[in-house]
Amino acid sequence: MNVSLIFGTRPQIIKCIPLIRKVQKSRQFDLTLVNTGQHYDYLLSKVFLREFQLQAPSYDLGVGSGTPSWQIGNTMINVEKTLMKLSTSVCIVPGDTNSAIGSALASVKTKIPVIHLESGLRSYDEFMPEESNRKVIDHISQLLLAPTKNARQNLMSEGILAKRIVLTGDTMLDLLLMEEKRIDNAKLPKGTEGLNEYMLMTLHREENTEDRARLSNILNAIRKSEITTIFPIHPRTKEKLNKYGLLGFARKIKNLVLIDPLEYHSMMRLLKNSMLTITDSGGMQKEAFIVKTPCITLRSSTEWIETLTAKANVLVQKLDQQTIVSTIQRVISNRDRIVSAMKDSE
């Protein structure tokens, strides 16, 4: 059976690694990797293939950045052209990115069945860009791989037949368990060696990076917290900080350690050993939960409802300085109780 696995972003690659390894070991499948290139930055995509010693994609489509509609449309056109060259029996599409929905639509239009990895996630926030992507992909896919019981229930409540849904567990958990030794021995980036008590922050979502006031409030909240904060800076975030005249200010914050985006193992080691993480990333919320690190999410909603139920994650909807600082203080003061609750939820 010829299987095409289509990805385009760093989180999609990470989700797929355990599956790629398993499929490549099987004699039943002939796997073709297709990279749409939604993340055009080397450090955000190709470095992960190299790090995990995975074969290079057979096709790099070079979609790159653009408006959501442009990205989805360009992905559809390029994926369709690619699939027409192949004798693909089924396409595997992970996640909820513009790359994912474009790939799923192109597959269906060329009459190729779609398997959706990480199906059934719902934030019930219609203004979240990924929410519509998730729903469309789920309803046009033939096989839905749900990572949690809650995700499976979401699909069934939307009228999707149970026979199309498989409760698989989470491939990102699989990967963390597979790579545990490498994570614990990973090289730490310059400037972070020897740090014992620190926060880890990631920031990349458009609603935060496109708003100068929000970025300023977040940076000032970190400064006022006086807690050492490691900040692997996403290319988009760095570009926006520079545009808004905030990059120089960020570099002058004494307790803020700016570093380049990291390889997977180094990032997970920093996350695992941090006091807490501050993020707007869906993947980081989940990874923090897995390694038992409390999380503050700078968003009004989350698709990972389980992290809220377990009291492992706090949403910050009002991004003023005082709210962010007080949330940091509250989480740190209750950290032991939060970690204990996470362990009890296993």
Q: Which residues are catalytic?
A: 204
Three-class SS string for 64-132? CCCCHHHHHHHHHHHHHHHHHHCCCCEEEEECCCHHHHHHHHHHHHCCCCEEEECCCCCCCCCCCHHHH
The answer to whether 36 and 102 are in contact (CB under 8 A) is: yes
SS3 at position 258: strand
As a whole number of angstroms, the distance between CA 280 and CA 203 comes to 6
Residue located via tokens 């692997």: 232
As a whole number of angstroms, the distance between CA 200 and CA 229 comes to 6
* C-alpha closest to that of 145 among 268, 22, 240, 233: 22
Rounded to 5 degrees, what are φ and ψ at 167? -80, 110
* C-alpha closest to that of 303 among 136, 128, 171, 169: 128
Q: Please, which residues have CB within 8 angstroms of residue 42's CB and are 6 or more apart in sequence?
A: none
As a whole number of angstroms, the distance between CA 138 and CA 132 comes to 10
As a whole number of angstroms, the distance between CA 245 and CA 213 comes to 12
